[in-house]
Amino acid sequence: DQQVKQNSPSLSVQEGRISILNCDYTNSMFDYFLWYKKYPAEGPTFLISISSIKDKNEDGRFTVFLNKSAKHLSLHIVPSQPGDSAVYFCAASAAGGTSYGKLTFGQGTILTVHP
């Protein structure tokens, strides 16, 4: 049962344009969402997060939007740069109890930004 889904395995974008990565989830208990970026042969690196009490969080070129009713979140990168080329993972967590800190990840989306 895939509770966090990234339906686009890959995305190709021109440098300077917007990159939009999408993520859907099914578990209504999830209340915190994160995006991680991963380069080959490295561990994932935390990028940005959002709590379920918000619908938008912005950090520089990166903005995450959360639509709770649709159980959907997206990561916008504006403007995209070639160095942004990596695998992007969406992750979700439910607070409290023994599940605290346990992240459920999507399958990842490979972003390629062309110069």
Instruction: Kindly tell me which of 14 and 26 has the beta carbon lying closer to other proteins.
Output: 26
Does 4 sit near other proteins (CB under 8 A)? yes
Minimum distance between the CB of residue 25 and other proteins, rounded to whole angstroms? 12
Does 1 sit near other proteins (CB under 8 A)? no
| Binding test (CB under 8 A) with other proteins, winner from 68, 71, 103, 112 | 103
Identify residues 46-65 at the interface with other proteins (CB under 8 A). 46, 49
Does 83 sit near other proteins (CB under 8 A)? no
Cα torsion through 107, 11, 19, 34, rounded to 10: 10
**b (16+ CB within 10 A) / e for 30-63:** beebbbbbbeeeeebeebbbbebeeeeeeeeebb
Q: Which range of residues in 14-22, 41-49, 59-67, 73-81 is near other proteins by CB under 8 A?
A: 41-49
Does 85 sit near other proteins (CB under 8 A)? no
Cα-flanking dihedrals φ and ψ of residue 35, to 5°?
A: -120, 135
